[in-house]
Amino acid sequence: MIKLLIILDLDGVLITTPPWKKTELSEDGYSAFNPSCVENLNSLLQLIETDIWLISSRRRTKSLEEFNIIFNSRQIITPITGFVPIYKDCSTRKEEVERFVKEIKYDKILIIDDDKTLNGLDKNLKDRLIHTELIKGFDDEKLDLAISML
């Protein structure tokens, strides 16, 4: 079976708190996820076997186990497989994605992120980008786009 690699950001994808508002926290003390964005992510995850690799800058603050506890408590149905490595010589998200994709072999890739540097990806990778908006996140429109890319 073909497995899908999702390179996933959190802020602007599942966490949609505007920067001018105080961050809402869940019962576990971690940032609240937008419930409709979580529902949309789960809808996508039900369609194809998936590995999730977290690229969020938040990957610097918690372990994989801690993030999987957070994902589980927010009812995300697929655990995180791993973190995109933090490359000392990469200064942008675009550079991190390009390097990671070269190092890892998957037949299908989706990148779900709001980082504007990703607009500079080469065409093959940019065609795999679901570019979200900070306060909308992984909304219905982005879910439909992701499904059409499968």
Q: How confident is the model at residue 3 (pLDDT cuts 50, 70, 90)?
A: confident
CB 137 within 8 A of CB 13: yes
For residues 77-102, give the mean pLDDT: 96
CATH classification at residue 81: 3.40.50.1000
CB 75 within 8 A of CB 36: no
pLDDT on residue 1:
52
Q: Higher confidence at residue 120 or residue 23?
A: 120
pLDDT on residue 105:
83
CA 75/CA 19 separation, integer angstroms: 25
25-43 tens-digit pLDDT: 999 999 999 999 999 999 9
Judge whether residue 69 has pLDDT over 80: yes
- pTM, entire model: 0.95
**At residue 67, what is the residue type?**
F
**Total domains, the chain:** 1
Mean pLDDT over each residue of the chain, to the nearest integer: 95
Q: How confident is the model at residue 93 (pLDDT cuts 50, 70, 90)?
A: very high
pLDDT on residue 2:
64
Q: Could you tell me the residue range of the domain that residue 108 belongs to?
A: 4-149
Judge whether residue 101 has pLDDT over 80: yes
Work out the angle at residue 95's Cα, subtended by the Cα atoms of residues 68 and 34, and round it to the nearest 5 degrees.
35
CA 6/CA 100 separation, integer angstroms: 12
DSSP H helical ranges for 46-91 = 64-73
